[in-house]
Amino acid sequence: MGRVDELKNRLFRQEEHFEERVGDPRLDPAEVQKSPHTWADAPQDEIQAFWLRKRQRRRRAFIWGISITLVLVLAGAGAAFYFLQNVGRVNTKNVDLEIIAPERITAGDRIAYEVRFKNNNQTVLESVELTFDYPEGALPIFGSPPKGKFRDRRDIGRLNIGEERTERFEAYLLGKEGTKLTAKASLEYRPSNSSARFGNDADLSTLVDRSPIGVSIEFPDEINVGQEVVLEARYVSTAETVFKNISLNLEYPEGFEFVASDPAPQKNNNTWNLGDLSPGQSGTITVRGVLNGTANDHKNIDAKIGIFNSEVNTWTIYGDAQKIVLLRAPLLSIDAFVNNSKDHVAAPGESVSVTFAWKNNLKVTVTDVTIEAELAGRIFDYGSVKVQQGVMDGATRKVVWNGFSSPALKFVEPGKSGTVSFTVKLLSDLPIADANDRNFTASVSGRIATNVIPQGYEGIDISGKSSVTFKTTTRLGIAARGYYYTSLLPNSGPLPPQVGEETTYMITLSLSNLSNDVENVVVTTGLPSYVKWKETVNPPDAAIRYNANTGEIAWDVGLLEAGTGRVRPAREVSFQVGIIPGPNLVGTSPDLTGKIVVNGRDTFTGQSLQGLASKITTAVHTDLRVLPNQYSVAP
């Protein structure tokens, strides 16, 4: 048992006696400074220091309290501001918009588009409008195709927070194989607490992987220049339904001359309205024509089938095809020229020279070659034909050269070439009976051949053909007349004109135009310094201008139609001028105007035109009531 335990036992025994301590316990505490019992016992500087420390502690506590309060207030305000901003604010990224439709279709299929949209913002969207643009060439399920863009607008109204909607749009899609047809959707809206409008866009493309209507071109791969050929455009429908209002179009190459077709075309010799095509229906369009050009040229022939909108002149194409043909020089070649040109523009009354250049491209000699030329058009003066080394057949209106009239054609060796020619005059007075007689053209065609086929070429067409077509320009005319006695613009003053006194005259300008429309027509003239502009014009709304600084008069006519002055009334304007003669003009008939000029552009030929009229003097011969002795100025 330890001493501690023994001590515990003794403490709980009765009448246990403990010996006195040998000595008192001694503590040596650290020296402790006694505090004063009252402030009166403390020094004054200690009292002031105590209160200073206390005030500083209170101030620090107050500042910390204010700071913490401000932080809490600002944090709360920021949170509230963020919350309010996001509640009333619209982010277009939080508006979903998508178009759902098949990725691939067959042309003519009925397709349904689903346009889905959802409001993921924390505010309601108001005045929501959905616009859907159908792909180009789409047709409505019911009714006629729209004249403009095929578009559907729908008023959605209100779109709540988190609300999702779907709108359905249906149409028939048309297009040629391999094309992508794109539909577009646009969603416009405004937040419920704002007048600002926002918008989202979406689009979707659908591939036309098959066209139920096909077209093909049957045409030789190579032909001779100037050879008449047959072109076949074949079409077939493999659709399961009827295709309505189908048309077929052929784009001929440059130099192709249409002769005839079966069936006959409805427009421009190259467009056929096939009507409605039933499932499995097929057909062929046969075209005859002559293809001219240069040897070794490649020519393209294009065909397309679909729906033609005549109001806007556009096509919705279901199918197309192309054929490339190579032009070869004929074995006997011939080339036609008018005035040594392929693009000559002739004037009425002009004498033109027609030339045919020929050549033997065979490797053998050709004998008894004949060249025939034929004129086509209503503007030739057939009685004026003059042929060199040939004859004119008046019955057939053909010019003929052969080995008798032109010895060079009797024996034509390989590679040999030459020319034959004739001249013919065009009618000065073109055959114009009504407004449809306009834009006159004429053509000359030639053919070289022989009835003696060289050995080794039996059964081969060695002949050659060529033709040239040329346009005729119009005749723009102007006439000017002077009057004293007229009720249209009454005049005054002495006749004959007298020195120092004013006499007025009316000037009338009259325009005529023969056969083609003329645009940008302007008539100009001028007044001498002694002639005054009287500011009187008839008709009053005529676009006539006078420059007082230069004395120039300009009449802006604009478009002058073909047949003006022939099958339409002449275009006229009248104006009044006054003259106060000086002594130096006594005994003369002074000018009232300068030279009169009209300028314009022929819309058919593209040529610039000009017409002239003599200036008007006081010798007004067109006014029969004015006597010759009243022409000259009197003292």
154-175 pLDDT per residue, tens: 999 999 999 999 999 999 887 7
User: What integer pLDDT is reported at residue 42 of this predicted model?
Assistant: 54
**pLDDT above 80 for 269:** yes
What the block records as the tokens of 139 is 């047709």
Whole-angstrom distance, CA of residue 146 vs CA of residue 149:
7
Q: 591 pairs with which residues across the strands?
A: 617
Closest CA to 411 of 376, 441, 444, 367: 367
Q: Which residue has the higher pLDDT, 31 or 379?
A: 379
Distance separating the N- and C-terminal Cα atoms of the chain: 178
Torsion of CA 400, 406, 411, 412, to 10 degrees: -70
Average pLDDT over residues 491-518: 96
Q: Which residue has the higher pLDDT, 222 or 148?
A: 222
User: What integer pLDDT is reported at residue 69 of this predicted model?
Assistant: 67
Q: What secondary structure letter does DSSP report for 269? A: T
Residue for token pair 């206390």: 54
User: What integer pLDDT is reported at residue 157 of this predicted model?
Assistant: 93
314-328 and 222-224: which strand pairing?
Answer: parallel
**pLDDT above 90 for 210:** no
Residue for token pair 């246990």: 16
Q: Which residue has the higher pLDDT, 352 or 110?
A: 352
User: What integer pLDDT is reported at residue 13 of this predicted model?
Assistant: 60
**pLDDT above 80 for 11:** no
pLDDT for 571-583, tens place per residue?
Answer: 999 999 999 999 9
**pLDDT above 60 for 322:** yes
314-328 and 282-291: which strand pairing?
Answer: unpaired
User: What integer pLDDT is reported at residue 72 of this predicted model?
Assistant: 65
Strands ordered across the beta sheet of 417-426: 332-338, 351-360, 417-426, 380-388
Could you tell me the sign of the dihedral formed by the alpha carbons of 172, 175, 178, 184, in that order? negative
Q: Which residue has the higher pLDDT, 174 or 534?
A: 534
95-100 and 110-119: which strand pairing?
Answer: antiparallel
pLDDT for 414-465, tens place per residue?
Answer: 999 999 999 999 999 999 999 999 999 999 999 999 999 998 888 888 888 8
User: What integer pLDDT is reported at residue 88 of this predicted model?
Assistant: 52
CATH fold of 476-630: Immunoglobulin-like (2.60.40)
What the block records as the tokens of 263 is 């069936």
- Helix (H), strand (E), coil (C) string for 546-569: EECCCCEEEEEEEEECCCECCCEC
Instruction: For residue 537, report the phi and psi dihedrals to the nearest 5 degrees.
Output: -130, 145
Closest CA to 318 of 182, 218, 179: 179
Whole-angstrom distance, CA of residue 495 vs CA of residue 396:
63
DSSP 170-205: EEE----TT-EEEEEEEEEEEETT----EEEEEEEE
**SS3 category, 291:** strand
Residue 416 CB burial class (10 angstroms; 0-12, 13-18, ≥19): middle
User: What integer pLDDT is reported at residue 83 of this predicted model?
Assistant: 42
pTM: predicted TM-score of the whole model, two decimal places: 0.57
User: What integer pLDDT is reported at residue 632 of this predicted model?
Assistant: 96
Q: Which residue has the higher pLDDT, 10 or 404?
A: 404
**pLDDT above 70 for 81:** no
Asked if 190 contacts 126 with a C-beta cutoff of 8 angstroms, the reply is yes
Q: What confidence tier does 491 reach under pLDDT thresholds 50, 70, 90?
A: very high
Residue for token pair 């053998």: 364
Q: What confidence tier does 105 reach under pLDDT thresholds 50, 70, 90?
A: confident
Q: Which residue has the higher pLDDT, 4 or 553?
A: 553
Average pLDDT over residues 337-347: 94
Whole-angstrom distance, CA of residue 596 vs CA of residue 525:
5
**pLDDT above 50 for 30:** no
**pLDDT above 90 for 110:** no
Identical fold, 92-208 and 213-328:
yes
Whole-angstrom distance, CA of residue 480 vs CA of residue 614:
7
Q: How many CB atoms lie within 10 A of CB 617?
A: 17
**SS3 category, 342:** coil
Whole-angstrom distance, CA of residue 216 vs CA of residue 319:
9
User: What integer pLDDT is reported at residue 108 of this predicted model?
Assistant: 75
**SS3 category, 496:** coil
| pLDDT winner (highest mean) among 15-24, 44-53, 523-532 | 523-532
Radius of gyration of the chain from Cα atoms? 52
Q: What confidence tier does 396 reach under pLDDT thresholds 50, 70, 90?
A: confident
Domain ranges of the chain: 92-208, 213-328, 332-472, 476-630
Closest CA to 355 of 416, 423, 411: 423
Whole-angstrom distance, CA of residue 562 vs CA of residue 517:
5
- CATH number for the domain running over 332-472: 2.60.40.740
User: What integer pLDDT is reported at residue 79 of this predicted model?
Assistant: 45
User: What integer pLDDT is reported at residue 461 of this predicted model?
Assistant: 83
**pLDDT above 70 for 87:** no
CATH fold of 92-208: Immunoglobulin-like (2.60.40)
**Chain CA centroid to CA 515, Å:** 29
Average pLDDT over residues 301-309: 90
User: What integer pLDDT is reported at residue 80 of this predicted model?
Assistant: 44
Closest CA to 247 of 223, 267, 230, 218: 267
User: What integer pLDDT is reported at residue 106 of this predicted model?
Assistant: 82
Whole-angstrom distance, CA of residue 635 vs CA of residue 629:
14
**pLDDT above 60 for 351:** yes
Asked if 215 contacts 189 with a C-beta cutoff of 8 angstroms, the reply is no
Could you tell me the sign of the dihedral formed by the alpha carbons of 66, 72, 73, 75, in that order? positive
User: What integer pLDDT is reported at residue 31 of this predicted model?
Assistant: 47
316-325, 504-513, 610-619: which range is least confident on average?
316-325
**SS3 category, 44:** helix
Instruction: Give me the chain's average pLDDT, please.
Output: 87
Burial 540-562 (b: 16+ CB within 10 A, else e): eebebebeeeebebebebeebeb
pLDDT for 598-607, tens place per residue?
Answer: 999 999 999 9
- CATH number for the domain running over 213-328: 2.60.40.10
